[in-house]
């Protein structure tokens, strides 16, 4: 069984993330979305909220699981018996950072491979950072975030 991990902060989940989940789940038997818990960045959403968004946003994908992780990605890969890391590329500007991550991970775990998937061009301008900024200023993220995830965000921000 070919198991892939799609790791990230997902703070919050965007349409770009959903696109990569759909593409990634089509090329592996099981795709585990790994939600980073102990990020050095201060997240807008708690790990429980981000897990809830991803579970809801990918519920139409039967071979996708959503799990939190902390510590090194390679340890999470071993724990999940995964050898593939899926990451999305929106533009060439993403590549340098992604290459660094991929090389560091391969160094720590030589049996793994990183697979880069190209985000659909219509989502190439979307990032969680942009979504957070819009939310912060009370704007509409309807064109940036999956519909069922918007409902969760509205619920969280109302509380
Ligand atoms: O969505 P992001 O924030 O760009 O995702 C970055 C992520 C979670 C993939 C990366 O920070 C990560 O893998 N962190 C876990 C710690 C780790 O393994 N570091 C060593 C490799 S650089």
Q: What's the rounded Cα separation, in Å, for the pair 145 and 104?
A: 30
- In this prediction, residue 159 has a pLDDT band, given cuts at 50, 70 and 90, of low
d(CA 138, CA 146): 18
The backbone region for 71, taken as left when phi is positive above 0, alpha when psi lies in -120 to 50, beta otherwise, is left
- The angle formed by the CA atoms of residues 45, 26 and 59, to the nearest 5 degrees, is 40
| Residue 9: active-site member | no
Residues 6+ apart with CB under 8 A from 30: 1, 2, 3, 4, 63, 64, 65
Mean pLDDT of the chain: 96
User: Model-level pTM?
Assistant: 0.97
pLDDT-derived band of residue 38, with 50, 70 and 90 as boundaries? confident
Whole-number Å distance, alpha carbon 76 to ligand 1 midpoint, is 11
Annotated active-site residue 30? The verdict is no
Give the tens place of pLDDT for each residue, 109-157: 999 999 999 999 999 999 999 999 999 999 999 999 999 999 999 999 8
Q: State the average pLDDT over residues 47-75.
A: 98
**Euclidean distance between CA atoms 65 and 136, whole angstroms:** 29
Out of 23, 25, 87, 128, which one is annotated catalytic?
128
* Ligand 1 atom with the shortest distance to the CA of 105: 21
């Amino acid at each position: 069984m070919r198991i892939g991990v799609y790791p990230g902060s997902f703070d919050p989940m965007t349409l770009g993330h959903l696109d990569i989940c759909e593409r990634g789940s089509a090329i592996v038997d099981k795709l585990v979305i790994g939600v980073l818990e102990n990020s050095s960045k201060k997240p807008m959403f708690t790990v429980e909220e981000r897990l809830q968004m991803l579970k809801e946003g990918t519920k139409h994908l039967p071979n996708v699981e959503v799990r939190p992780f902390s510590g090194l990605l390679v340890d999470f890969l071993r724990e999940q018996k995964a050898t593939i890391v899926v990451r999305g590329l929106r533009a060439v500007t993403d590549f340098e950072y992604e290459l660094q991550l991929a090389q560091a991970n391969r160094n720590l775990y030589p049996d793994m491979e990183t697979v880069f998937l190209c985000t659909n061009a219509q989502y190439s301008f979307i990032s969680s950072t942009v979504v957070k900024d819009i939310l912060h200023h009370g704007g509409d993220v309807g064109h940036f975030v999956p519909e069922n995830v918007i409902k969760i965000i509205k619920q969280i921000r109302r509380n």
